[in-house]
Amino acid sequence: MSFFSKKEQPKKNVEESKLYADIQKALTEAPNSPQTPILQTAAQALLKKQYFPKILNDLQSDLTLLAIKSALSPTAKKIYLDIFKGSYHYSTTGSGIAMVFAGMSGFGGN
């Protein structure tokens, strides 16, 4: 392989593509539901390449009320649960940095 050969797709793009595909599936599954505007906003944000963690946070917070009311379609419910479980996250840098600082400040359990 050459140094300039095409590299694997970064995990970030894979997770964004997976979320986008899941959103499109949910939109076709229930086109006139209360979740539709929320999912359309997230899909547009993904197409505009906005900051992925913000998209996830906004999507989770916007879907929470519908999840409490059990008003989500099965696919939207899966998206919500995957966001909640952290299945779409592509980086753990923030949590790694937090662990380092927690260890240095004495909160690491030592």
* C-alpha–C-alpha distance, residues 104 and 73, integer Å: 45
Contacts of 77 (CB under 8 A, 6+ apart): 67
For residue 66, pLDDT over 70 is answered with: yes
Lowest-confidence region among 8-12, 25-29, 42-46, 47-51: 8-12
Residue among 43, 93, 41 at smallest CA distance from 62: 41
**CA torsion through residues 43, 47, 48, 51, sign:** positive
Predicted confidence (pLDDT) per residue in 80-107, tens digit: 999 988 888 765 555 555 555 555 555 5
Per-residue CA distances from 27 to 39, 41, 93, 105 (Å) = 7, 11, 32, 46
Highest average pLDDT, of 1-15, 47-61, 78-92, comes from: 47-61
23 touches 43 (CB < 8 A)? yes
78 touches 87 (CB < 8 A)? no
For residue 6, pLDDT over 60 is answered with: no
Share of the chain above pLDDT 90, in %: 56
Instruction: Spell out the domain ranges in the chain.
Output: 11-105
